[in-house]
Amino acid sequence: MAVGQRRVGDEVLRGFSETFRGALLRPGDDGYDEARSVWNAMVDRRPAIIARPTGAADVIAAVNFARDNGLDLAVKGAGHNIAGSAVCDDGLVVDCALMNSVRVDPTAMTARVGPGATLGDVDHETQAFGLATPTGINSTTGIAGLTLGGGFGWLSRKYGLTVDNLRSVDIVTADGELRHASEAENPDLFWAVRGGGGNFGVVTAFEFDLHEVGPEVLSGLVIYPYEQAPAVLRHWRDFVADLPDECTVWVNSMTAPPLPFIPDAYHGEKVLAVMPCYVGDLAEGERLLEPLRSFGDPIADVVGPHSYAQWQQAFDPLLLEGARNYWKSHNFTEVTDDCIDAIVEYAERLPTPQSEIFVARMGGAANRVPADATAYPHRDAEFVMNVHTRWEDPTMDDACVAWAREFFDHMAGFATGGAYVNFISEGTGEEARAYGGNYERLAEVKAKYDPENVFRANQNVKPAV
């Protein structure tokens, strides 16, 4: 019978199913459409087989089956990747949804995490012991994709990127071998998975360092009418210049949702959200953030003690799956007045109420790591901008994508030329921007562990010749 790019006999399929302990889904099976869906509704692909492993043995079987039968192979963690490379047409998808365990060792302050876990799964287990590892800012994001791309969020200025807190991985490479990679074992592979994306295999377990965090952090939003944005953004830029590592402040140009703490008159209007998070002593955080919160004339201030796990979930309602999304990304070493004016100009004409422009303050511990210490190269990025275009009507695709590209091009003159791989929506040559000066070394590691480019459903690194 026809499966994927080649005709695979019934006997071969039967043999695969007999060695595979997890679930195998085919078109028409219950659960197939749910399993093939991803967070970005612009992605609509139909794999020939979705294999849901329960452990490393199933992953090995799936990788061998796809490789030996010439099938395109994609790997899905929690399905939150903007590019949608977790699924492919006609090939085989290794869907790690069933491998979502999180095991915390509170004495060693480590966590062993499965590739199907979300950030919410990780926080739920680690915060039971007052511990955390730096991740992202949306609890439904998958830990696997976030980590393999670098990973940053509220804790990164204090404790570094997600990859800076990765101790080891177990990974099934293209030859079907399960390898352990750490600083001491297969160090070249360990270097590559820390920012090189899904190019090198299927990670079946991540081991993270944990840190004492919370259970409460000082966090929240200070919201301003957008006419105050030029002044507030300049004040924010100056305020964050010399912050201690415990503090990070991001800003978001957006349309005000109908939240109860925002006055009704501003619902649906452009606003600027200033988002601080302080992970040290709460009283010291209050003192430190006072000049930020007292500036201008905000319409809402909901900064206060919040549980770290709840703060990690604060933006989940604004990022539900099922919408169409297109992102572009820039890194900056500084945010100049002209850069701020350009952000304000384009924010005034966001193409949809769901679209936004957020700028994350980086620096701190994340930037004190050498650029070649891990595959993630952007240790000079003091700020990261995500142009997040979001809508529901497919007839708006061209207009929304065009707006994002125009804004991205306009901002290029202020930027470093680098890009965060997890913020890239499409493979249009932006891989070089994502991997920067580490691309050549990544290509050499790729040639060693995946010379036939079996793992190519990603922001791809081609094997060195």
Asked if 269 and 329 sit in the same domain, the reply is yes
pLDDT at 8: 64
pLDDT at 431: 81
The residue behind tokens 């595979």 is 20
Cβ atoms of 72 and 49 closer than 8 Å: no
Whether residue 454 is contained in a domain is answered as no
Asked if 376 and 260 sit in the same domain, the reply is yes
User: Where would I find the beta strands (DSSP E) of 5-105?
Assistant: 6-7, 23-25, 49-52, 73-76, 92-95, 102-105
Asked if 127 and 174 sit in the same domain, the reply is yes
The distance of Cα 330 from the centroid of its chain, to the nearest Å, equals: 15
Whether residue 463 is contained in a domain is answered as no
Cβ atoms of 224 and 272 closer than 8 Å: yes
- pLDDT tens sequence across 99-122: 999 999 999 999 999 999 999 999
Helix (H) or strand (E) holding 233: helix 229-239
Low-confidence ranges of the chain (pLDDT < 70): 1-10, 428
End position of a domain, from candidates 65, 98, 131: 98
pLDDT at 1: 42
Whether residue 178 is contained in a domain is answered as yes
Q: What is the CATH number of the domain that holds 176?
A: 3.30.465.10
Whether residue 456 is contained in a domain is answered as no
Decide: helix, strand or coil at residue 262.
coil
Instruction: Locate 250 and state its tokens.
Output: 């991001």
Decide: helix, strand or coil at residue 388.
strand
End position of a domain, from candidates 51, 75, 98: 98
pLDDT at 9: 61
CA angle 102, 105, 111 (to 5 degrees): 40
State how far the Cα of 78 lies from the Cα of 37, in Å rounded to an integer.
10
Q: What is the CATH number of the domain that holds 34?
A: 3.30.43.10
Q: CA-based Rg of the chain, rounded to a whole angstrom?
A: 22
State how far the Cα of 131 lies from the Cα of 111, in Å rounded to an integer.
10
Phi, psi dihedral angles at 94 (to 5 degrees) = -90, 105
State how far the Cα of 150 lies from the Cα of 376, in Å rounded to an integer.
6
pLDDT at 132: 98
The whole domain housing 315 covers 216-423
- The reported pTM is 0.94
Number of structural domains the chain divides into? 3
Whether residue 377 is contained in a domain is answered as yes
Asked if 343 and 327 sit in the same domain, the reply is yes
**Helix ranges restricted to H, 69-164:** 119-126, 143-149, 156-159
Asked if 272 and 410 sit in the same domain, the reply is yes
Chain-wide mean pLDDT for the chain? 95
Torsion on CA atoms 200, 201, 206, 209, rounded to nearest 10: 0
pLDDT at 4: 46
Whether residue 464 is contained in a domain is answered as no
Asked if 51 and 189 sit in the same domain, the reply is no
Reference 74, options 50, 93, 102; nearest CA is: 93
End position of a domain, from candidates 57, 72, 98: 98
Asked if 419 and 440 sit in the same domain, the reply is no
Asked if 142 and 271 sit in the same domain, the reply is no
Q: What is the CATH number of the domain that holds 279?
A: 3.40.462.20
Asked if 298 and 320 sit in the same domain, the reply is yes
Asked if 204 and 61 sit in the same domain, the reply is no
Asked if 247 and 318 sit in the same domain, the reply is yes
Question: Strand pairing of 110-113 and 92-95?
Answer: unpaired
State how far the Cα of 377 lies from the Cα of 333, in Å rounded to an integer.
14
Whether residue 366 is contained in a domain is answered as yes
Whether residue 410 is contained in a domain is answered as yes
Asked if 84 and 197 sit in the same domain, the reply is no
Cβ atoms of 150 and 122 closer than 8 Å: no
Angle between helices 337-347 and 397-411 (to 10 degrees): 170
Total number of residues shown for the chain: 465
Peptide bond into 215 cis (omega under 30): yes
